[in-house]
Amino acid sequence: MTAAATYIQTTIAGNATIATLLTQGLFWELAPEDVLYPFADFSINQAPGRTKDEGYGYTVDLRVFGENITASAFIADTIMLEMKTIKPTWKFINATSGYTDTDAKVGFVQITYQFNL
C-alpha cells in the first residue's frame, strides 16, 4: 500500500498544473490540522488478489478542499482534465461534492479513480 501512496503522490503532485492549484499539498488520509486551503487528501483501497497483469488493483478517493465549494469544484475539474493525460490511464469512477461534518462546514469534491500497479 505504501507503493500505491507514493505512486499517487508522485502522479498527482508531479503534474505541474495540479501542483500549482494544490498550493498547500496532497496528503495521505489526513491533512495537518492547521493546513490552509487549497489542498487535497486521499484514501486507498487495495483489491484482493493480483490483476491479470500480475499487479494489484487500487481504488483511490481523492478529496479536494478549497476556500469554498466553487473553488473545490474548479480544482477538481482541472484535476479530472489533467488526469486524462496521465499514462498509464487511471479509470475515472465518479465525482461527488459535499461538505465536511465539522463546525467549519468546508466544501469539498471527492474524485474516485481505479488503477493497477
Rounded to 10 degrees, the C-alpha dihedral 10/13/17/22 comes to 170
Number of C-beta neighbours around residue 8 at 10 A: 21
| Domains parsed from the chain with CATH numbers | 2-116 (3.30.70.1700)
Global pTM reads 0.89
Q: Which pLDDT tens digits describe the chain residue by residue (117 residues)?
A: 898 999 999 999 899 999 999 999 999 999 998 999 999 999 999 988 766 666 778 999 999 999 999 999 999 999 999 999 988 889 999 999 999 877 777 889 999 999 988
d(CA 13, CA 7): 10
Q: b/e for 22-57, b at 16 or more Cβ within 10 A?
A: beebbbbeebeeeeebbbbbbebeeeeeeeeeeebb
Looking at residue 52, its pLDDT comes to: 66
C-alpha cell recorded at residue 28: 495521505
